[in-house]
Amino acid sequence: MYPELFRIGNFSVSTFGLMMAIAFLVGSWITAVRMKEEGLDPELAWSLLVYVMLGGVVGSKLYFAVDVHLRTGVPFTELLFAREGITWYGGLVGATLAGAVGASRNRVSIKQVMDCTAVAGAVGQSIGRLGCFLVGDDYGRASDLPWALAFPKGAPPTLETVHPTQIYEILWLLPVAFLLWKRRRSSPFLFGEYIALNGLGRIFIETLRVNPKVALGLTEPQFVGIALIVLGAGGWLFFRERARAASG
């Protein structure tokens, strides 16, 4: 794979960093399109980009540092300031909270803004997973399938062929993004659909990965996936009932 684009002195510019930047920019563009459709100022999407980027990065690093520190005892500050360790679920929580703060400060509906980011979230996450693939991170367990790959420069490196689970997740998320786009005018809570479908896909893809099981035969990401399904479905039902009550 191609983990490094180029170096500036001792500083390495990674393909993952590039993909993450592209994900934020493409996500903001899609959000701007959706905001225009909803009668909001599309320029707000670019203002919220700052909140979402900061919240996403801080949330992902905090999740990684706390998780690894509790499991391994590695010093928290060492993990927090390491270059590696971008955990998507922590980024989702951080970006959502920071985006809600940004929406509140700009005096627009938090729920409306969340719905405008649903398609962008699925597409942006797909681009981020492409970054994981390029640096050889988050791959699955050993496999002899025709499309299995080795990641000799991965994180960690492996010469054994494994499931390219990053690609599997992309192949799940892009149809999810298409479905969300089709449902953007009819869904009572589009963001809820996004996180629920995201969690569902991760539960099944996780069966091909190598994360340790923590309880009930499930891994930590699978428990997070279940939580996303519950939160997404619960929010969807809540807003559907509220819309019904408001209409009569």
Distance between CA atoms of 102 and 98, rounded to whole angstroms? 6
Q: Grade residue 12 by pLDDT with cuts at 50, 70 and 90.
A: low
Domain ranges of the chain: 4-173
Overall pTM surpassing 0.85 (yes/no): yes
pLDDT of residue 3: 65
Query: Cβ distance 15 to 5 under 8 Å?
Result: yes
pLDDT of residue 178: 97
Tens of pLDDT, residues 116-165? 999 999 999 999 999 889 888 889 999 999 999 999 988 889 999 999 99
Burial pattern 91-126, b for ≥16 Cβ within 10 A else e, equals bbbbbbbbbbebbeeeebeebebbbbbbbbbbbbbb
Over residues 92-106, the mean pLDDT reads 87
Over residues 78-83, the mean pLDDT reads 68
